[in-house]
C-alpha cells in the first residue's frame, strides 16, 4: 500500500485534498501533517480523519528532527501544501514566509531525497509569474517575476525544487494554480471574508478601484488536477492549473452581494494593497493535452454553493473569527509550537 504525506493538510486546500484522496483512493495510506498555525484547523479534517489508513501528525516542516520519523516510517509521495499563504500578511512581515515557504521546503526536499520518495509535488501559485496587463496569459515557460514577499518566497521554493530535480534526480513536479475558492477557506481571503462580513452585517473592503483581475478555480478542480499530476506527470515538469474564469474583484463582490440580498452600498472602497498585482491569467493547455485534466465546476454553480456553505457553517468561521479554535489546540497540545501566527 502506498503512503502519501500531505503537508499543510489542515489548511484550506490541503484539507480538501485529503477529503478527495480518502474518497477516491481507498488503497492509499494518508499521513496528514500540519503545524496548526493560525491558518490550520483540525475541524477541516473532521469528516475524513478516521480508519487505519489515516494518521495526523502535528509538526513544523522547518523542524527536520520532528519530520524525520515520518519519512523513516515510509513515504512514497509527498504533496506539499504547507505555506504561509496570505499576501497581505507577507507585506506586514515576511519572516515566517521565508522560513516556511523556502526553509521548510528545503527540509522536506532533503528528507525526500534521503528516504527515496518516489514523487514530490510542490503546490505553487500563478503569483510567481508576476502581473499581466490587459491581455495575454502565463504559460509554464513565462519567466518567474514575483512581486510580493509571499510570491517571492513561493518562487524561491520553485527554484529550489527544480534544483533538486536537476542535481539529485529527485522526482519533483511543480503545480502553479490560480485563485481557489470553496469550503473551509480561512476568512482573511476575499470570498470567505466578504461572505462572513455580510452575514455579520458588516461592509466588504474592496482594495483600490476593485478592478484587479484574478482567475478563479473551484478547490475540488484544483485537487483533481493534483491527483492527475501525481498519477501521470513526468519528473521535473511544471504544470499550470486554472479555472479559465477571469473576474474583476468588483464582479466577485457583486455576485456575493446579490446572492445575499445586499446592494453596493455595502462595499467600502479602501486603500489599495501595496504592489497589488493587476491581473493574472493562466494558459492551462499543457495539463489538458498531456494529462487530460480540465476544470469541471462552473463559477455560476461553484460560487453559489460556496456562499451557501459559509452561510450554513457559521459555527466553523465564527470560532475562527473569535480565535476559539486556537484555544482548543492550546488545551490539546500546550501553548507552544504554534508558528507563524502573527504578521
- What, of ligand TDX, ligand NAD, none, does residue 13 touch, CB below 5 to 8 Å by kind? ligand NAD
State the minimum distance, in angstroms, from the CB of residue 142 to ligand TDX.
16
Would you give the distance in Å from CA 28 to the centre of its chain? 22
Say how far apart CA 135 and CA 111 lie, in whole Å.
Answer: 42
Asked if 31 is part of the footprint of ligand NAD (rule: CB under 6 A), the reply reads: no
Say how far apart CA 151 and CA 128 lie, in whole Å.
Answer: 5
Would you give the distance in Å from CA 330 to the centre of its chain? 24
Say how far apart CA 85 and CA 333 lie, in whole Å.
Answer: 24
Asked if 60 is part of the footprint of ligand NAD (rule: CB under 6 A), the reply reads: yes
State the minimum distance, in angstroms, from the CB of residue 187 to ligand TDX.
9
Asked if 14 is part of the footprint of ligand NAD (rule: CB under 6 A), the reply reads: yes
State which residue, 171 or 187, has the beta carbon closest to ligand TDX.
187
- What, of ligand NAD, ligand TDX, none, does residue 82 touch, CB below 5 to 8 Å by kind? ligand NAD
Give the residue from 152, 162, 35, 29 showing the smallest Cα distance to 98: 152
> By the 8 A CB rule, do 180 and 219 touch?
yes
Q: Enter the C-alpha cell of residue 74.
A: 515510509
- What, of ligand NAD, ligand TDX, none, does residue 303 touch, CB below 5 to 8 Å by kind? none
Q: Tell me which residues are annotated as active site.
A: 126-127, 150
What's 59's DSSP letter? -
Q: Enter the C-alpha cell of residue 29.
A: 495510506
User: Segment contacting ligand NAD (CB under 6 A): 35-43, 106-114, 223-231, 253-261?
Assistant: 35-43
Binders of ligand NAD among 113-142, rule CB under 6 A?
123, 125
Fill in the per-residue mask, 187 to 216: x = in contact with ligand NAD (CB under 6 A), - = not in contact: ------------------------------
> Edge to edge, what strands does the sheet with 54-58 contain?
54-58, 28-34, 2-7, 77-80, 119-125, 172-177, 237-241
> By the 8 A CB rule, do 85 and 139 touch?
no
Asked if 34 is part of the footprint of ligand NAD (rule: CB under 6 A), the reply reads: yes
By CB under 6 A, name the one of 85, 183, 240, 306 that touches ligand NAD: 85
> How do beta strands 237-241 and 267-270 pair?
unpaired
| Sequential DSSP letters for 140-190 | TTSPP---SHHHHHHHHHHHHHHHHHHHH---EEEEEE-EEESTT--TTSH
Give the residue from 113, 93, 246, 236 showing the smallest Cα distance to 178: 246
State the minimum distance, in angstroms, from the CB of residue 240 to ligand TDX.
13
Binding site for ligand TDX (CB under 6 A): 85-87, 125, 127, 179, 189-190, 193, 205-207, 212, 214, 249, 273
Asked if 83 is part of the footprint of ligand NAD (rule: CB under 6 A), the reply reads: yes
- The SS3 of residue 75 is coil
State the minimum distance, in angstroms, from the CB of residue 266 to ligand NAD.
24
Closest residue to ligand NAD, Cβ-based?
11
Say how far apart CA 176 and CA 193 lie, in whole Å.
Answer: 24
By CB under 6 A, name the one of 4, 11, 21, 329 that touches ligand NAD: 11
Asked if 326 is part of the footprint of ligand NAD (rule: CB under 6 A), the reply reads: no
Site residues for ligand NAD per CB under 6 A = 7-8, 10-14, 34-37, 39-40, 60-62, 81-85, 100, 104, 123, 125, 154, 177, 179-180, 186, 339-340
Amino acid at each position: 500500500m502506498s503512503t502519501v504525506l500531505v503537508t499543510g493538510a489542515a489548511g484550506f486546500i490541503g484539507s480538501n485534498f485529503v477529503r478527495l484522496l480518502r474518497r477516491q483512493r481507498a488503497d492509499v495510506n494518508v499521513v496528514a501533517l500540519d503545524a496548526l498555525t493560525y491558518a490550520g484547523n483540525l475541524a477541516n479534517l473532521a469528516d475524513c480523519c478516521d480508519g487505519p489508513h489515516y494518521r495526523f501528525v502535528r509538526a513544523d516542516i522547518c523542524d527536520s528532527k520532528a519530520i524525520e520519523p515520518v519519512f523513516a516510517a515510509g513515504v512514497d509521495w509527498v504533496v506539499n501544501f504547507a505555506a504561509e499563504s496570505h499576501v497581505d500578511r507577507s507585506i506586514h512581515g515576511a519572516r515566517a514566509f521565508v522560513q516556511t515557504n523556502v526553509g521548510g521546503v528545503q527540509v522536506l526536499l532533503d528528507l525526500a531525497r534521503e528516504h527515496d520518495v518516489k514523487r514530490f509535488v510542490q503546490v505553487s501559485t500563478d503569483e510567481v509569474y508576476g502581473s499581466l496587463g490587459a491581455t495575454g496569459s502565463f504559460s509554464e515557460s513565462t519567466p518567474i517575476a514575483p512581486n510580493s514577499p509571499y510570491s517571492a518566497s513561493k518562487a524561491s521554493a520553485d527554484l529550489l525544487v527544480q534544483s533538486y530535480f536537476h542535481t539529485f534526480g529527485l522526482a519533483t513536479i511543480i503545480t502553479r494554480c490560480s485563485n481557489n475558492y470553496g469550503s473551509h477557506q480561512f476568512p482573511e481571503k476575499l470570498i470567505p471574508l466578504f461572505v462572513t462580513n455580510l452575514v455579520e452585517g458588516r461592509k466588504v473592503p474592496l482594495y483600490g478601484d476593485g478592478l484587479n483581475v484574478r482567475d478563479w478555480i473551484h478547490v475540488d478542480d484544483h485537487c483533481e488536477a493534483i491527483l492527475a499530476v501525481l498519477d501521470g506527470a513526468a519528473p521535473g515538469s511544471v504544470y499550470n492549473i486554472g479555472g479559465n474564469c477571469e473576474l474583476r474583484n468588483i464582479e466577485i463582490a457583486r455576485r456575493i452581494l446579490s446572492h445575499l440580498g445586499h446592494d453596493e452600498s455595502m462595499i467600502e472602497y479602501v486603500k489599495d494593497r501595496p504592489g497589488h498585482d493587476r491581473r493574472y491569467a493562466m494558459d492551462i493547455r499543457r495539463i489538458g493535452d498531456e494529462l487530460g485534466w480540465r476544470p469541471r465546476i462552473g463559477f455560476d454553480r461553484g460560487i453559489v454553493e460556496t456562499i451557501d456553505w459559509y452561510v450554513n457553517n457559521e459555527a466553523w468561521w465564527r470560532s475562527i473569527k473569535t480565535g476559539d479554535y486556537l484555544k482548543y489546540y492550546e488545551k490539546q497540545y500546550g501553548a507552544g509550537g504554534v508558528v507563524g501566527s502573527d504578521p
